[in-house]
Structure 1
Amino acid sequence: MARPPLPPFDHASATLKVRLAEDGWNTRNAEQVSLAYTHDCYWRNRAEFVTGRADIVALLQRKWTRELDYRLIKELWAFEGNRIAVRFAYEYHDDSGQWYRAYGNENLEFAADGLMQRRLASINEAPIAAADRRFHWDASAPRPQDHPGLSELGF
């Protein structure tokens, strides 16, 4: 099943692909998110390497069990052909109530059907005070269209 927009990407289609990925991740539904990836998709996520949807689901379920009230913003950095580079930031708190902001970059490669076949992510994070949070929207919904993006927030 095709997952538009399809490569090769132009600026508009790459921007839309990134926003659709952001909206999917903000659902925190690992099964749903995994459907955007090929069955044999290869991931590097921090120091963890996984292959295939089942491993992706397991990684995301572990992630979102620890990262509570997760909110993510992605921004297109560059694109060419079937590849997109993204920068992102997300905020969450742990079970003790400590808030964190994580920053990262993703290199994404897509199959002809629009499914992602490779995701290479580098991520770092730092604790923040609750008063320093910048991502304020209902965690059960996508980021509102009028909520600032990373550039507007100065990240």
Structure 2
Amino acid sequence: MSETDEKSLFLQETKGIKPLKQDTYVPSQKLNKFKLKQKAELKDNREKQDTLFYFSDQYEPLLNEESAVKYLRENEDSYLLKQLRRGDFSPEIFLDLHGLTREQAKLELASLIQVCENDNIFCASIMTGYGTFTLKKQIPRWLVQHPKVRALHQAPREWGGDAAILVLVDV
């Protein structure tokens, strides 16, 4: 079919159609900086709340607390734990929880996992310190509940030793 045949077929098919009249202009809406900042804060808060949903204080996982802190998600390669223990993974982000309350630490953990997910960070180090051992015992209990946590292990000496935990996050 030639171009003139196509044009005549088009004109024949569209005969008698009235063109639409577009006489209204809708200006684009510009959000001011304050509203944009509010929207970003709401999104961040929502993401933190979603992540916090996983951290229950009543859940008691089966962790051997006499030996080094370690956890491996079901269906993961057990070699991951060995690599964490040896320090084969270097943390890309560090979280220091010294001096924080349990609730503050829970919020910081939620933020850490969210940042790891958003920025494609695979390995993180969480420094719990020694202190009263409250956070050192509670942090692994919270982390094993989160579906993005693949594995965790007490950090090797160069990444904090007994006072830190290395975490592998599913990104």
Q: TM-score range by the shorter chain?
A: under 0.3
Return the index of the structure with the highest Cα Rg.
Answer: 2
Structure with bigger helix share is 2
Structure with bigger strand share is 1
